[in-house]
């Protein structure tokens, strides 16, 4: 085989490798995130959706419910979790069907922010698909006094809109 022929074959192989690599990069799911926080007078509720792959999404919900540190510690000392999160559909600005719960991963009390909770869950795009077409969802956090089994507050995030597979 001549040197010229070998160089042409090598060039074809390199072009093929570069083309395949470029196509893989262009078709791979790009990382994306959507985050919103309320900044309300009595709390701050942040709701975030992060694309982990083409099929899965990380759900993060963080809340600070403003109260004294002593009151926050009392909620934490009671048996059971005082905070609970549901992701719900939003139809025309009104809460609709519950989609799934999000797991509590951290609960704390501080003098500056009161009662704080962090929630996480990995879900498929189908779990975020709340209706046909454009999907609108919100995080709803419920504060429960487990001593009296009574709801002390309900906090609703801003709406996140998307088309999840």
pLDDT in tens, 142-151: 999 999 999 9
Write down the pTM of the prediction. 0.79
**Domain coordinates in residue numbering, the chain:** 1-30, 33-162
User: Which tens digit of pLDDT belongs to each residue from 108-128?
Assistant: 999 999 999 999 999 999 999
pLDDT over 50 at 38, yes or no: yes
Taking 90 as the threshold, does the pLDDT of residue 31 lie above it? no
Whether 145 contacts 72, CB under 8 Å: no
CA distance 100 to 88: 7
In this structure, are residues 30 and 140 in contact, taking their beta carbons and an 8 Å threshold? Answer: no
How far is 136 from 129, CA to CA, in rounded Å? 9
Is the pLDDT at 92 greater than 50? The verdict is: yes
* 33-162 under CATH 3.50.50.60, yes or no: no
């Amino acid at each position: 085989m001549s040197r010229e022929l070998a160089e042409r074959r090598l060039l074809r192989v390199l072009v093929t490798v570069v083309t395949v690599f470029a196509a893989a990069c262009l078709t791979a799911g790009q990382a994306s995130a959507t985050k919103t926080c309320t900044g309300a007078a009595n709390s701050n509720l942040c709701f975030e959706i992060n694309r982990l792959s083409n099929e899965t999404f990380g759900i993060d919900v963080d809340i600070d419910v403003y109260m004294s540190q002593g009151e926050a510690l009392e909620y934490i000392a009671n048996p059971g979790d005082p905070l609970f999160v549901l992701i719900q559909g939003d139809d025309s600005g009104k809460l609709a069907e519950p989609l799934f719960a999000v797991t509590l991963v951290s609960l704390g009390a501080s003098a500056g922010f009161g009662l704080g909770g962090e929630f996480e869950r990995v879900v498929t795009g189908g779990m975020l698909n709340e209706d046909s077409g454009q999907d609108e969802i919100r995080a709803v956090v419920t504060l429960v006094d487990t001593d009296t089994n009574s709801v002390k507050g309900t906090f609703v995030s801003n709406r996140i809109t998307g088309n999840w597979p």
